[in-house]
Amino acid sequence: IGYWTWELERFPQKWSDAAKHFDEIWAPSDFTRDSIARAVSVPVFTIPHALDMNLVSEPPSHGRGHFGVPEDAFLFVFLFDFLSVFERKNPLGLIAGFREAFPSGEPAALAIKCINGLHDSENFGRLLAAASADPRITILNGYQSAEETRDLMRCCDAYVSLHRSEGFGLTLSEAMTLGKPVIATNYSGNTDFMTADISYPVAYQLTELTETHGPYEKGNVWAEPGITDAARLMHFVFEHPLEAQEKGRAAAEKMQKLLSPQRIGNLMRERLYADTQPVFPRRNESFRGSMPLPALHAPSPRVRDC
């Protein structure tokens, strides 16, 4: 089994031959599954990421002061990695949306947490220049512990992403698990779990890439999120914090059911036992309805450098 991900509707044909080494491919979202399935000859199935549900009960160790963000402002947060391609993550669109939402110095703030800016110094400079135009915007650059990252999410009032495409949208699902209202582009992998009843989807238009960005080649399509619609939603949660918090609580409940390790583990078991000649022998052909699944014992994997 290969676990593959991809962020555009068209999977690169030059990579499709690698599928011949696998019996089947698993993908984290229906969006990614469909993209890969159109390009390969082996079956492709959706097996989402499982989330640590202990996130909800763990108390924060770091407050806003640790991150240098305002204590008394309505705080929006976004996290991204420059190695995940700057144009796809679209932080400049987010800054534009924030400034359109709050043009008159309202008590709102935006913190953008990023890593690997030194590997894309040109775009890192563009990000800093855009943020410097508004003192309410803070750029947090550099690595931090997983605990700090979660605490930054816990500090925020809303999480927002104006991505152009996602294979899954891991930070979105984590923020929702923490009960945060999430505003994000209504396109790609995150739409599997980010529905309008528990989040704030941003309208978009599909656009063609006019140049290549990293592995995303010219001629492909991705979303261009509506800046004005994003600004409207950011201002709405700012003006209606109790309603936004209620939507965040509903999101946390759904994530508990949808992306728990138990549910995702069961999906994996179903796939492993689905074939007429499974890799792992069944204890009893009638186990599905009447017996617990047997423990799975895989041979030790061979390890190689990649």
Q: What is the pLDDT of residue 285?
A: 35
What are the Cα distances from residue 46, in Å, to 36, 228, 263?
A: 11, 33, 13
Q: What is the pLDDT of residue 76?
A: 98
The alpha-helical segments, DSSP class H, found in the chain are: 13-16, 30-37, 64-67, 86-89, 91-101, 121-132, 146-155, 170-177, 227-239, 241-258, 261-272, 287-290
What is the pTM for the complete model shown? 0.88
Q: What is the pLDDT of residue 284?
A: 36
Q: What strand order describes the sheet that includes 44-46?
A: 2-3, 25-27, 44-46
190 or 274, higher pLDDT = 190
* Least confident segment among 136-150, 174-188, 289-303: 289-303
What are the Cα distances from residue 146, in Å, to 75, 82, 99?
A: 20, 18, 29
Residue 275 — pLDDT band, cuts 50, 70, 90?
A: low
Residue 302 — pLDDT band, cuts 50, 70, 90?
A: very low
Closest CA to 201 of 210, 192, 209: 192
Q: What is the pLDDT of residue 59?
A: 77
Summarize pLDDT for 140-150 with one digit per residue, the tens. 999 999 999 99
Summarize pLDDT for 13-55 with one digit per residue, the tens. 999 999 999 999 999 999 999 999 999 999 999 999 999 888 7
Residue 291 — pLDDT band, cuts 50, 70, 90?
A: very low
- The mean pLDDT of 286-300, rounded to a whole number, is 36
Summarize pLDDT for 203-253 with one digit per residue, the tens. 999 999 999 999 999 999 999 999 999 999 999 999 999 999 999 999 999
User: Rounded mean pLDDT of the chain?
Assistant: 90
